[in-house]
């Protein structure tokens, strides 16, 4: 690894965060931050799920997640329920309102990527996905040398 590698990766990160608007305080023209949307994603696709599972999946601070969960509860987006298998464990699930809210965000994300890809040719879209798959493979824990 060289300083040039580091500089190029940092430049790409700045470019891509700008492309998808990650520097905006709220993402996808919503009232949610990126971490909040990621937590909603985990809740939507893996419910019921525990807070510990979310911490392990997203590598997010426990206190930050706890505050997020409280806010989601106040907004009636999620519910907590004691696990039937382990009374010490609390399972989190989205409410109908939470599922609807996430669906709106998910559709906005889908639309955003469609808008980014629309000007590209099919060949360029295929290349882009191939390169992204390569990046994921190289940076995944199994791909580390």
For the chain, list the domains and their CATH numbers. 3-143 (1.10.10.10)
- What pLDDT was estimated at residue 63? 96
CA–CA distance, 18 with 12 (Å, rounded to integer)? 10
Position 15 pLDDT exceeds 80: yes
- What pLDDT was estimated at residue 145? 46
The four Cα atoms 22, 19, 46, 126 give a dihedral, to 10 degrees, of -160
> Which conformational region is residue 59 in: left (phi greater than 0), alpha (psi within -120 to 50 degrees), or beta?
left
Position 143 pLDDT exceeds 70: no
CA–CA distance, 50 with 12 (Å, rounded to integer)? 34
Mean pLDDT value of segment 76-99: 90
Quick: pLDDT tens for 117-129.
999 999 999 999 9
**HSE-up of 20 (CA within 13 Å, CB side)?**
13
- What pLDDT was estimated at residue 92? 96
Q: How far is CA 134 from the centre of its chain?
A: 20
Mean pLDDT value of segment 7-23: 89
Position 140 pLDDT exceeds 70: yes
- What pLDDT was estimated at residue 144? 52
CB count within 10 Å of CB 78 equals 23
Q: Which residue has the tokens 């909040």?
A: 36
Say which range, 11-15, 17-21, 61-65, 116-120, has the weakest mean pLDDT.
Answer: 17-21
* Residue 50 CB-density burial (10 A; 0-12 exposed, 13-18 middle, 19+ buried): middle
Mean pLDDT value of segment 13-31: 86
């Amino acid at each position: 690894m060289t300083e040039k590698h580091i500089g190029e990766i940092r430049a790409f990160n700045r470019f891509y965060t700008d492309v998808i608007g990650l520097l905006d305080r709220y993402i996808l023209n919503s009232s949610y931050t990126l971490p909040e949307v990621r937590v909603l994603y985990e809740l939507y696709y893996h419910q019921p799920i525990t807070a510990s599972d979310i911490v392990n999946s997203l590598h997010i601070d426990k206190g930050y997640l706890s505050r997020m969960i409280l806010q989601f509860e106040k907004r009636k987006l999620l519910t907590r329920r004691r696990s039937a298998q382990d009374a010490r464990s609390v399972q989190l699930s989205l409410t109908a309102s939470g599922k609807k809210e996430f669906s709106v965000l998910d559709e906005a994300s889908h639309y955003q990527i469609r808008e980014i890809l629309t000007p590209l040719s099919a060949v360029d879209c295929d290349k882009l996905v191939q390169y992204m798959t390569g990046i994921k493979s190289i940076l995944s824990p199994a791909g580390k040398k």
